């Protein structure tokens, strides 16, 4: 299954609205202008496709924040964070005054990243709910670390497909420069596409 030109256009628009909302919240949190690029959207049907699209190695350890969706849209959203990006972001958030070592950093980092992941996911989900005029309930965010391929495998579930959304993100005055990657489980992807088709057909 491939996205038609209309579906591609609609999902990019949807992603752009969601990520812009997230950027607005992040700009308040970081007290800095957040620059975002045009999102890239792809429907991937196997682990290799996702890995290639993300330009990571499959065995790479990645951090992620995930939230379950229920209501009119059911499934799972995963926000991927490359460890290098998260370290940079984390140190920027806390400032150079807090240079911590070892175990403790990880506990703080997980906490901060869960909050950031929550901001990004809920911004995207609320934009979707607005645009699709649907009610979506979201679970509380969970943090996890896993091999990239295992994580995608889990996200694919039985339907063997995910909607992958990526967008570059930079903070204007800080050395924060990374890529937001959101993976929607196939069930969500199909429902979003169906809603998008209803909109584009109207």
27 binds other proteins (CB under 8 A): yes
Residue 81, φ and ψ in degrees, nearest 5: -130, 120
Residue 188, φ and ψ in degrees, nearest 5: -65, -45
Q: Which residues are 169's β-sheet partners? A: 36, 178
9 binds other proteins (CB under 8 A): yes
Nearer to other proteins, 141 or 155 (CB): 141
Q: Collapse the DSSP code of 171 into the 3-class scheme (helix H, G, I; strand E, B; otherwise coil) and give the result.
A: strand
Nearer to other proteins, 51 or 127 (CB): 127
Q: What residues from 66 to 85 belong to the interface with other proteins (CB under 8 A)?
A: 67
Q: Collapse the DSSP code of 168 into the 3-class scheme (helix H, G, I; strand E, B; otherwise coil) and give the result.
A: strand
Size of residue set near other proteins by CB under 8 A:
59
What gap in Å lies between CA 81 and CA 91, rounded to an integer? 15
What gap in Å lies between CA 154 and CA 162, rounded to an integer? 10
Choice from 55, 96, 97, 104 touching other proteins (CB under 8 A): 104
What gap in Å lies between CA 173 and CA 193, rounded to an integer? 37
174 conformational bin, left if phi > 0, alpha if psi -120 to 50, beta if neither = beta
199 binds other proteins (CB under 8 A): yes
Least spacing, CB of residue 115 vs other proteins, in Å: 4
Nearer to other proteins, 6 or 145 (CB): 6
Residues at the site binding other proteins, with contacts judged by CB under 8 A:
6, 9-10, 12-14, 16-21, 23-25, 27-29, 33-34, 36, 38, 67, 93-94, 100-104, 107-109, 111-112, 114-115, 118-119, 122-123, 125-127, 129-131, 135-141, 172, 196, 199-200, 202
């Amino acid at each position: 299954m491939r996205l038609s030109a209309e579906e591609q256009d609609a999902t990019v628009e949807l992603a752009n609205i969601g990520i812009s909302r997230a950027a607005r919240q992040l700009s308040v949190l970081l007290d800095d202008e957040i620059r975002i690029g045009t999102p890239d959207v792809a429907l991937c049907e196997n682990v290799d496709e996702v890995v290639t699209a993300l330009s990571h190695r499959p065995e790479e350890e990645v951090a992620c924040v995930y939230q379950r969706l229920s209501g009119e849209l059911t499934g799972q959203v995963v926000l991927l964070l490359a460890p290098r990006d998260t370290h940079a972001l984390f140190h920027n958030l806390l400032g150079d005054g807090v240079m911590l070592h070892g175990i403790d950093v990880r506990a703080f980092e997980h906490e901060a990243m869960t909050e950031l992941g929550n901001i990004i996911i809920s911004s995207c989900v609320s934009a979707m709910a607005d645009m699709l005029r649907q009610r979506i309930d979201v679970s509380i965010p969970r943090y996890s670390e896993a091999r990239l391929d295992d994580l995608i495998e889990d996200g694919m579930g039985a339907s063997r497909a995910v909607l992958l959304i990526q967008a570059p993100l930079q903070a204007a005055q800080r050395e924060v420069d990374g890529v937001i990657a959101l993976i929607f489980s196939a069930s969500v992807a199909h429902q979003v596409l169906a809603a998008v088709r209803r909109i584009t057909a109207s």
